[in-house]
Amino acid sequence: MNVITIESEAFRQIIEKLQGLEDKFIKMKMDAESPLSDRWLDNQDVMLLLKISKRTLQTYRDERKIPFSQVGNKIYYKASDVERFLKKNYVKVQKF
């Protein structure tokens, strides 16, 4: 059996990184277990997901193209509505 020794500070950093990884895995597991339709996304999430600007997202809301919920100044979108929006605007091509 080989014995490896390290400084206590290095050991502490390893433990912290492992704890961080464990926290991320737990969050990923929880996200995977909840259906997409049960999740709510904010403006930033939807802008990143659709790769659009804040103004474009505002236009979609103004034109009632995408459903939303507003609490105070914060706006939320159901992930299932965003998915439905994408499917509605899906263009099928021939011979694909």
* More reliable by pLDDT, 36 or 72: 72
The set of residues, in sequence order, having a beta carbon less than 8 Å from that of 96 and lying 6+ positions away, is none
Q: pTM of the predicted model, to two decimals? A: 0.59
> Looking at residue 87, what is its pLDDT?
93
Kindly list the structural domains of the chain, giving each domain's residue range(s) and its CATH number in brackets, ordered by start: 36-88 (1.10.10.10)
> Looking at residue 61, what is its pLDDT?
97
The set of residues, in sequence order, having a beta carbon less than 8 Å from that of 35 and lying 6+ positions away, is none
CA dihedral 55, 60, 64, 36 (to 10 degrees): -120
> Looking at residue 35, what is its pLDDT?
62
The answer to whether 70 touches 42, Cβ cutoff 8 Å, is no
Whether the pLDDT of residue 94 is over 60: the answer is yes
Q: What is the arrangement of strands in the sheet containing 69-71, beginning at the earlier edge strand?
A: 40-42, 74-78, 69-71
Residue 7, CA distances (Å) to 1, 4, 12, 15, 18 in order: 20, 10, 9, 13, 17
> Looking at residue 14, what is its pLDDT?
94
41-50 pLDDT per residue, tens:
999 999 999 9
